[in-house]
Amino acid sequence: MAQERAVAMAEARTAAARPTRRPSRRVASGLRVPRAPLPGDVKALLAGVAMVAAIGLGWLIFGPAPPPIVPVLGYMDAGPPTAPTPTPAPTPPFKLPWWM
């Protein structure tokens, strides 16, 4: 029994000593850098952005109805507003000298 246990412990040590392969990425220098999992605050930020995008898209699709179109027959456009009539310059209550 002791030899079986010793073999099992040796196999366990070698399995624990082997590095685990994690996905990696290449950086500008050409070295491979292991990828770290995203922190919780980044995940929450991404979830918030996705939710805002989904709400905005839903509002664009199912949003408020456009104003009704005016019927063509029997409708007359008012056109641009009329220009105001200019008021004449006020006359002074007394006679000014000739140079003015």
In a domain, 37, yes or no: yes
In a domain, 28, yes or no: yes
Nearest residue to 20 via CA among 38, 10, 34? 34
Provide the domain count of the chain: 1
* Domain boundaries, position 45: 23-53
The per-residue pLDDT for range 23-70, each reduced to its tens digit, is 566 666 666 666 778 888 999 999 999 999 999 999 999 988 888 777
Q: Which residue has the higher pLDDT, 94 or 64?
A: 64
- What is the three-class DSSP state of 34? strand
34, 22 Cβ separation under 8 angstroms: yes
